Amino acid sequence: MNHFNIQAIIKQEEIHSVISLYRHTHAKEQCDEIQTELLQHFHYEGFLALKVLDANDQLIGFIYGYTSKPGQADHEQFKTTLNKDLYDQWLHHCFVITGIVIHPTIRRKKIVRYLIEHITNVVRHKTAILTLELSNKKDRNLYKQLGWDLICDHYYPTSIIKPFVIMGKQLQSTPQLTSQA
């Protein structure tokens, strides 16, 4: 049985270890772009990043996102893609999951499933959205199993010519605390 530990990334310096993990799964040009975006997103409202460490405290995966707000590039792209009803339904008080990466040697251990479930349970938003390549049917099926809905089946982020999909999930509302007299 594999053992792993989930921890929040709370220091900007920790971003560099995440970028080294990306280098195992992405081309160098993408890693440079990802590093710039990650450092920018680190300062966004609601930023949350979780890292996965193995039994030897080696970084083997991570997930991150932030509160979607008007003026952010992703938010504005979603706004131009979605009709008003979908925009109102999904982007009001929304957590955008922008990055998930698992070391290639550790895939198929249900770590992505655990990360998605964990991050959507700890954030206090009405909805969560993410994008993935249209051709990635395996991950689309995983998200469907986890209760995610297909919001848009042909989404073209800036400078990317491959079609993506936008998926969303309605999140549980924060339980209200009641005071007893």
CA 34 to chain CA centroid, Å, is: 13
Please list, in sequence order, all residues whose beta carbon lies within 8 angstroms of the beta carbon of residue 42, skipping any fewer than 6 positions away: 12, 15, 49
Share in percent of the chain as helix, strand, coil (round to 5): 35, 30, 35
Q: What is the mean pLDDT of residues 3-31?
A: 73
Whether 82 has a pLDDT exceeding 90, the answer reads yes
Q: What is the mean pLDDT of residues 55-78?
A: 91
Please list, in sequence order, all residues whose beta carbon lies within 8 angstroms of the beta carbon of residue 127, skipping any fewer than 6 positions away: 89, 90, 91, 92, 93, 94, 95, 168, 169, 170, 171
Whether 75 has a pLDDT exceeding 90, the answer reads yes
Q: What CA–CA distance (Å, rounded) separates 61 from 49?
A: 11
**14 contacts 28 by C-beta, under 8 angstroms:** no
Q: What is the pLDDT of residues 26-65, one digit of tens each?
A: 666 666 677 778 778 888 999 999 988 888 888 888 899 9
Pairing status of strand 59-67 against strand 127-133? unpaired
Name the residue among 86, 90, 107, 167 with its Cα closest to residue 134.
Answer: 167
What stretches of 42-179 show up as alpha helix (H) in DSSP? 73-81, 84-91, 111-122, 137-145
Q: Note the pLDDT of residue 178.
A: 36
Q: What is the pLDDT of residues 94-149, one digit of tens each?
A: 999 998 888 877 777 788 888 999 999 999 999 999 999 999 998 899 999 999 99
* The two structure tokens encoding residue 108: 């198929």
Q: What is the mean pLDDT of residues 161-181?
A: 70
Q: Which domains does the chain have, with CATH numbers?
A: 4-170 (3.40.630.30)
Q: What CA–CA distance (Å, rounded) separates 6 from 29?
A: 28
Whether 70 has a pLDDT exceeding 90, the answer reads yes
* The two structure tokens encoding residue 57: 């405290």
Q: Which residue has the tokens 């920018």?
A: 40
